[in-house]
Amino acid sequence: MNTLELATHGPVIPVIVIQKLEDAVPMAQALVDGGVKVLEITLRTPVALQCMEAIAAKVPGAIVGAGTIRSVADAKAAKNAGCVFGVSPGYTSEVGLACQDMGLPLLPGVSTASEVMMANADGYHFLKLFPATAVGGINLLKALHGPFPDVAFCPTGGITVETAPQFLALPNVKVCGGSWLTPADAVAARDWARITTLARQAGALR
């Protein structure tokens, strides 16, 4: 799979932090029911890898990826858990080339022109701009489009359902990453219907 294919499934990739293993499958099912298939499960909790395994095994239609990949060990663990892509907050050649070697498509994080060039040099041209709003957001993406017309971005970090359409309107933005699809209060209440509704709304943003 080419990571650019991830953008063909809808305009938003949810960035998901799962605290409890028992929430993983119903939450993922709620997102898929709402039309959101590409799921980035972050490696930010002790149960993250178990959650990825459970979703990959039990939620048909889910395209499971691991977020917060910071090392080669993270990438290996994600692949072993059944993930079909990875996302990193930043970029190092060590991680980028290791993912290529192990056949794990990577969406690498960048926040500067120099990092874009480093990722390009290793063969990556679809990149995550992170943390998008903190590093310049729409203005930065417009500025990067001139010198990097062949690079596409998935801005992530600080984007909301209100601002996402402005990012998605840019020619070099293929998809947005967003954490608003799985609000902590909805997960705590196990209000999966609300998450399905948020997923449907996200699908209509473009």
Angle between helices 93-102 and 72-80 (to 10 degrees): 30
Would you call 162 a catalytic residue per the annotation? no
Rounded Cα distance, 84 and 82, in Å? 6
Rounded Cα distance, 40 and 37, in Å? 10
Instruction: Single out the catalytic residue among 53, 128, 142, 162.
Output: 128
Q: What is the chain's percent helix, strand, coil content, to nearest 5? A: 45, 15, 40
Would you call 58 a catalytic residue per the annotation? no
Instruction: Single out the catalytic residue among 40, 53, 94, 115.
Output: 40
The structure tokens listed for 1 are 């799979």
Write the CB contacts of 174 (distance below 8 Å, at least 6 apart in sequence).
4, 7, 126, 152, 153, 154
The catalytic site residues sit at: 40, 128
